[in-house]
Chain A
Amino acid sequence: MSEGAGVEVKSTSAGAGVVKDSETSEAAGQKVVTPEYMFFEAPRERAFITGSEAAKEAIRRANVDVAISYPITPQSETMQQVGALWAEGYVKEYYRGEEEIGVMSAIAGSSRAGARSLTATAGPGLMRGMEVVASWPGGRMPIVLLIMCRVINAPLSIQPDNAELAYLINTGNIVFHAENQQDFFDYTLKAFIISERPEVTLPVAVAVDGFFVTHARGYVMMPSKDIKLPPRDPYHEAVPVMDNENPPARLSRDAPIQKSNFISYHVHASWQQEVWAAVERSRKYIDMYMGGLVEIVNPDADTIVIASGSAVSQSREAVRQAEEDLGERIGLIKVRSLRPFPTKELREACKNAKRIIVPEFNCVGWLYRDVAAALYGHSKAEIIPGPRVFGGISLPTEMILQYIFPDKKFIF
């Protein structure tokens, strides 16, 4: 590589090469619109873009104050592009943090300052930052975290695998799982608004399967880039923002777990209950903005596939093949929201099901466990764990069909 290839050196004094002042840029001309207009009414145009680009385009319209980045495959491209948005004036503050504990902590700081805050990570980065990510809900911090899932366990690999979500879904973070580029665009934008609702005031993670979505192109319908979401209003949230614009009370935003006594145990316990109650209260907005926690295809079928993320796309195709090639109608439930979990919706949809198949992109089967726990005692269906692929292996539709039709033989 030639010296300085790809590196553009910018002089720091005003002059040639300096990024255009945001005052005069396109970013400054963005008009604030209501979430409803952005989500439902604004005319949309179709683009053929990667998942990373879809995330970038969502962030461009999300009125983000602070974004903090750290590279990790397959996430790097997204936060790099968010850096470009900052240079163009679409994002107000941006820097590359020292590593993920630092980044997740700094994002907690900016959220507590009242700023709309964003970061993104993948696999090992999420695991490294997990102590902090798991503490955000208790701090009642509106934050959006994008996760481009990848292998977390040894041997080291950068391939898609979403085992990392197994613990995340038990932390009190709201967690959405995007199927494709369109979802990634929509869920990301909606995540900011849901996260900041006063009765929610919680971080929202939007997960997507690495490479399959981040690095592949898909069609995305997007509103114009000259509109953006309204800014965060930190004075209408569940807890006071840490900007010292409050009366000088003793204001420690964390539950007083500092003493070992019965009061502290009860405070901690009720605090956790309240976090999970807030997760439940987000349902209303998921219904309103995202069309519900689940999408259901062929609800009355005997056999139903329940999946989230990329596994939905593969299942959709398997369901189509089953109907067109084999003449069998198979049901499909796409789980959009992993937390809150669609317990009620699954019980209703699976009332009459005979067999349920849960394909996943991980070895441990966290979705299977949740599905089984939700349906236990509420459905007579046999719930089949799998098929599962992991470590980067793709999920051929024939593999899903094999689980749907155990008596037939499929080649994959």
Chain B
Amino acid sequence: MSMDNLKISPALEKYMTKEYRDLVERGPYGKQKKVSEMGTFKEIIEEHPMCAGCAMTLFIRLTMIGLPNPEHTILVGTAGCGRLALSQTSIPFIYGNYGDTNAVASGLKRGLEMRFPEQPKDVVVMAGDGGLADIGFSTVLHSWFRKEKFTTIMLDNEVYGNTGGQESGMTQRGAILKMAPKGKKYEKMDMLGLAKTANVPYIVRMTVTNPTRVASVVRKAVLIAREIGPTFIQAYTSCNIEYAIPTPKVIDDAKSLEAERYGFQEFISDEAKAFLESIEPKKAKATKSTEA
């Protein structure tokens, strides 16, 4: 958005809410904020109606801090728990039909590129594992094959959370959930491998345990998507309700999963790496090209 749009017309100043004035005076628009500064600036999301302690909400909050230009970002979500928080952000949020995210984002991004050839507009998809790996599978894979320039973030809670706990393609084999009363019969889908097959230039698997890393990965993913091609972050964001994780134990659970089978992996193509180095010489050095 143009910074002029953000400013309050002097005649309206006394009527605007404190929240809005804070956004203008202390918001993250036009200046990249850091996780370490949390508490000192007005965040893009502050309230949401999701379950208390849900890891997904933390991930979404950190994602908003990582966005390099929230003032030029459009979020795309879908049915599922995440949209309950995403719709509370002070960023335009598109919520269409279940599983349509990557198709909507394709048209949106192309339309925005056409209308704003000089001003990058970032499109970020955030949706559940069911939304992206099951019902949205085809549009996700095709957006990657077509090299659509936006970021896809999977909020992987390994279950259909919003409909009350059914097995998804991203559920671990053996897990007993609704619609899998005898335990899931098949392996968790390898979306990271599929992303590699589709030559996605930046692929990350992570959890919420390291907040600074979440924000930095999101930032890289959005910048690479802007210039190089699709980027994919698969984040373990546990569902404490359906997996019966006591709220105070959510981070412990993430840590133990990280140690067991959900360790941090970052794959970056040479082209994407060179691009990051060209814009931020120091930071990119820290990025190791590891197998996803």
Q: Are A242 and B74 neighbours in the complex by a CB distance under 8 Å?
A: yes
Q: Are A248 and B107 neighbours in the complex by a CB distance under 8 Å?
A: no
Q: Are B106 and A106 neighbours in the complex by a CB distance under 8 Å?
A: yes
Q: B residues within 8 A CB of A97? A: 103, 106, 142
**How distant is the Cα of A81 from the Cα of B219 in the complex, in angstroms?**
40
Q: A residues within 8 A CB of B96? A: 105, 108, 132, 135, 139, 254
Q: Are A115 and B115 neighbours in the complex by a CB distance under 8 Å?
A: yes
**How distant is the Cα of A69 from the Cα of B42 in the complex, in angstroms?**
43
Q: Are A110 and B97 neighbours in the complex by a CB distance under 8 Å?
A: no
**How distant is the Cα of A102 from the Cα of B101 in the complex, in angstroms?**
9
A247 in the interface (beta carbon within 8 A): yes
**How distant is the Cα of A254 from the Cα of B77 in the complex, in angstroms?**
12
Residue in contact with A110 in the complex, picked from B2, B87, B111, B138, CB distance below 8 Å: B111
Q: Are A103 and B1 neighbours in the complex by a CB distance under 8 Å?
A: no
Q: Are B95 and A132 neighbours in the complex by a CB distance under 8 Å?
A: no
Residue in contact with A258 in the complex, picked from B74, B83, B112, CB distance below 8 Å: B83
With A114-B115, A242-B74: A131-B103 Cβ-Cβ less than 8 Å = no
Q: Are B90 and A248 neighbours in the complex by a CB distance under 8 Å?
A: yes
Q: Are A135 and B6 neighbours in the complex by a CB distance under 8 Å?
A: no
Q: A residues within 8 A CB of B84? A: 258
**How distant is the Cα of A99 from the Cα of B29 in the complex, in angstroms?**
37
Q: B residues within 8 A CB of A253? A: 92, 94-95
Q: Are B107 and A68 neighbours in the complex by a CB distance under 8 Å?
A: yes
Q: Are B115 and A254 neighbours in the complex by a CB distance under 8 Å?
A: no
A362 in the interface (beta carbon within 8 A): no
Residue in contact with B6 in the complex, picked from A115, A248, A250, A251, CB distance below 8 Å: A248
Residue in contact with A107 in the complex, picked from B71, B76, B107, B114, CB distance below 8 Å: B107
A245 in the interface (beta carbon within 8 A): yes
**How distant is the Cα of A68 from the Cα of B142 in the complex, in angstroms?**
14
Q: A residues within 8 A CB of B121? A: 243-244
With A106-B103, A258-B87: A246-B97 Cβ-Cβ less than 8 Å = no
Residue in contact with B104 in the complex, picked from A66, A108, A114, A244, CB distance below 8 Å: A108
Q: Are B95 and A254 neighbours in the complex by a CB distance under 8 Å?
A: yes
Q: A residues within 8 A CB of B83? A: 258
How near does chain B come to A171, taking the closest CB pair, in angstroms?
A: 13
Q: Are A244 and B1 neighbours in the complex by a CB distance under 8 Å?
A: yes
**How distant is the Cα of A108 from the Cα of B5 in the complex, in angstroms?**
25
Q: Are B94 and A242 neighbours in the complex by a CB distance under 8 Å?
A: yes
**How distant is the Cα of A177 from the Cα of B55 in the complex, in angstroms?**
51
With A114-B111, A242-B92, A244-B121: A102-B72 Cβ-Cβ less than 8 Å = no
Q: Are B142 and A102 neighbours in the complex by a CB distance under 8 Å?
A: yes
Q: Are A92 and B114 neighbours in the complex by a CB distance under 8 Å?
A: yes
Q: A250-B90, A252-B87 are in contact. List 13 more A-B contacts (CB 8 A).
A: A97-B103, A102-B100, A108-B107, A109-B110, A113-B111, A113-B114, A115-B114, A132-B100, A139-B96, A243-B116, A244-B1, A244-B91, A248-B23
Which of A's residues lie within 8 Å of B, judged by CB? 65-66, 68, 92-93, 95, 97-99, 101-103, 105-115, 117, 131-132, 135, 139, 240, 242-254, 256, 258-259
